[in-house]
Amino acid sequence: MTFDARVLGGIGVLAAVVETGNFVRAGEALGLTPSGVSRSVARLEARVGIRLFDRTPRAVTLTDEGRRFHARVAPLLAGLEDAANDAAGSAAKVRGRLRVNVDAWFARSMLAPKLPALLAAYPELSVELTVRDTIGDMVGEGIDVAVRFGEQEPSSLITRKLIDTRIFTCASPAYLARHGEPQHPRELERHECLHTRDPLSGRPFAWEFHRGGEIIEVEVVSRLVTNELSTKLAACIAGHGITQTFELGLEHLLASGALKQILPDWAEERFPLYVFYPSRHLPPAKVRAFLDFVETDVLAGAPRADPLYRPAGRPA
């Protein structure tokens, strides 16, 4: 089959619509009228033989076929951009807008305090953070890279584990002064505990305790369930109850005395932190720079991922 070079121009318009969210903003970015964008998309649909977008007066969304097509061609466009930069002698040029998907705990406790260093190192780079409890549709939303705790639903995304962080059980000194400090996981059944909801199942995560190969699951009682770790920790610091949480990002709360780790002998459970991106083939320079930054700056001093370790199926 002879390649139709006109398809490449249509793919550029497709990418602009996905990135901006509608035909009007795509036209502004490309110097075209909305009708010109619509005609270009229609020609591309005719050439590839599929409907790429569902169009309504209020929204333009990728069809399932369009999402799969965009997932295949977006990395190729990024590769062409890098190839052009390479030909111009600027392969290492980090610039443009980087869209990053992260969960709230990693964003607040780890990433945000370090971001000024990244932006200072790359003056032509801007960062757009999407903070939420699910990874969503990275390709359809134009997300360049995601950093998230825990296993995600199966997808075509490239996945790489960064670290395994331990699960700590904590309480405030005020709570322990009132109710006493548990000496065994089973004693937690008599305490007020704070739960986190699994965004995939909608149910609270179970509590496990690991020590020397022994695993105990405890059914704790909680009158407070949240889907966001920072909120749960704030309630824990205020003395409302005992919680489980990641060691990563907890250091300052333990060092200040706001929280105290309990049951330290039962803290061998670990949970993974992953990075996700659409394709390993020629990822853009801005994505490569961000990945290097996360590993060398944000996670400096954190334990490296253990390739032989099989992570538990539940976080804090």
Tens digit of each residue's pLDDT (9 = 90 or more) over 75-103: 777 766 666 665 554 445 788 889 999 98
- pLDDT score, position 309: 36
Which domains occur in the chain, in start order? 6-87 (1.10.10.10), 94-316 (3.40.190.290)
pTM summary value: 0.66
CB-CB neighbours of 307 under 10 Å: 6
Q: 200-224 pLDDT, tens per residue?
A: 777 788 899 999 989 999 988 888 8
- pLDDT score, position 312: 40
- pLDDT score, position 238: 95
Q: Lowest mean pLDDT: which of 75-89, 145-159, 225-239, 267-281?
A: 75-89
Contact 147, 159 (CB under 8 A): no
- pLDDT score, position 85: 60
The secondary element (H helix, E strand) that includes residue 14 is helix 6-20
Residues in the chain: 316
- pLDDT score, position 313: 42
How far apart CA 152 and CA 220 sit, in angstroms, is 25
Is the predicted pLDDT of residue 24 greater than 90, yes or no?
no
DSSP label of 270 = E
- pLDDT score, position 32: 85
User: Which residues lie closer than 8 Å to 167 by C-beta, 6 or more apart?
Assistant: 208, 244, 245, 246, 247, 267, 269, 270, 271, 312, 315, 316
Q: What are phi and psi of 183, to 5 degrees?
A: -105, -10
The secondary element (H helix, E strand) that includes residue 41 is helix 34-48
The residues with which 315 forms a beta bridge, in sequence order, are none
Average pLDDT over every residue of 280-299:
83
